Structure 1
């Protein structure tokens, strides 16, 4: 890890607060609604395919997820799905957007210590309105210089962020739960990264052991361990 870090960027979902758990719960509810048409496993597979296909249209976040659920329901039911079921799908989405913010263990304590030495930002994917809402409800805004909601988290996206921050790649440290989005792209562009796994990871964010083993990054079990490294 670089010794001249000036900016620490934090992923938001499943790094600062719980998120993926709510998607898994929503998928279970969705499977129950469509149980008369397909098995739970098939529904799950088809929903994932629909989500991936729609990323280029809707991006990441709850709203795109809901639209994909509706599309998947129409497809699996051969357009026989009734209006009440569509309403139930929309209800699942609204409930997701209204979930309370559950901070992960040690988050605020770590941010409080790090803000004394570094500029802190949030660098996350998702829907802008939803991520701003979550940040406000989390009461963590006071610790961050700004929030950067990115359409994606690939090398080119991080290069843009670094240019915007007016720093060198070596002066950025990213902390997140996704190897694919929060770690590997940073290592490729000469920045530093800390991986803090969350117990549930969306399959789209998983990477092969071969890819991860060739990269130089730090893995911690809890965000509280960050302060002993910096």
Structure 2
């Protein structure tokens, strides 16, 4: 077996993202302080996100709608229109936040771009993900970009067949065990976990430490070396 194609997650793998959700959630707590305690708001909002992700998808728009739904629920329908307006404004601000590349991200992508097919595989709002990729300055380094509704084994099989030589000759790098690593391993490829200090609760999972195609790195600085070792082992 050879390694021909490498996939990268985007949010919180190549650039910061979750921090903007956390800041907006803190603002949401302040807006609803008269109606619920912080712990209750967090619990109700997470339940709304889990309930709505199948209908609204991942990203800022679904998060904003879940905040509005939660505000209506905890206030028994009495939330002021001005508060709804503030929530909508917070969502719009998230869709315009500047991009901050994570340490070693550019170097990691550049180091691999000459030897492998690189594919960006990301979830989220189409326009928002396109905006962030354009602002990141990394777009020209990728051979293909896939903005998907969800990340499942069949997603990776299709993406790596379309842009590479199959998932079994592909490697996926990301901060989410649930979305970037576990389904890629199930699809037959390699999965590399690069954790971020902030990860959405719905993306948590147990590391598959015993899996022969699983690896973890503290940051992207060691990715090129890891890929070289995997490729050497695969070729051998």
Normalising by structure 1, we get a TM-score of: 0.95
Of the three residues 209, 215, 219, the one matched with 1:213 is 209
Note the C-alpha offset of 1:214.
4.1
Deviation string 1:125-180 (CA, Å, 9 cap, x unpaired) is: 11111100100011111101121011111112112212322512221110000111
Gaps of 5+ in 2: 229-236
Secondary structure at the aligned position of 1:15 is classed as coil
Deviation string 1:19-64 (CA, Å, 9 cap, x unpaired) is: 0111111111101100100100100110010011111110000011
How many residue pairs get aligned? The number is 226
Secondary structure at the aligned position of 2:77 is classed as coil
Q: Which residue of 1 aligns with 2:76?
A: 78
Q: Which residue of 1 aligns with 2:9?
A: 11
Secondary structure at the aligned position of 1:174 is classed as strand
Q: 8 Å contact 2:5–2:160 — kept in the other structure?
A: no
Give the whole-Å Cα distance in 2 for the aligned partners of 1:228 and 1:60. 32
Give the whole-Å Cα distance in 1 for the aligned partners of 2:58 and 2:166. 28
Give the whole-Å Cα distance in 1 for the aligned partners of 2:106 and 2:54. 34
Of the three residues 66, 69, 92, the one matched with 2:67 is 69
Correspondences of 1:78-157 after superposition (within 5 Å): 78-157=76-155
Q: 8 Å contact 2:120–2:146 — kept in the other structure?
A: yes
Q: 8 Å contact 2:157–2:166 — kept in the other structure?
A: no
Deviation string 1:198-219 (CA, Å, 9 cap, x unpaired) is: 011111011135xx33433110
Give the whole-Å Cα distance in 2 for the aligned partners of 1:119 and 1:208. 29
Give the whole-Å Cα distance in 2 for the aligned partners of 1:151 and 1:44. 24
Q: 8 Å contact 2:170–2:189 — kept in the other structure?
A: yes
Q: 8 Å contact 2:173–2:194 — kept in the other structure?
A: yes
Q: 8 Å contact 2:171–2:192 — kept in the other structure?
A: yes
Normalising by structure 2, we get a TM-score of: 0.92
Q: Which residue of 1 aligns with 2:158?
A: 160
Secondary structure at the aligned position of 2:145 is classed as strand
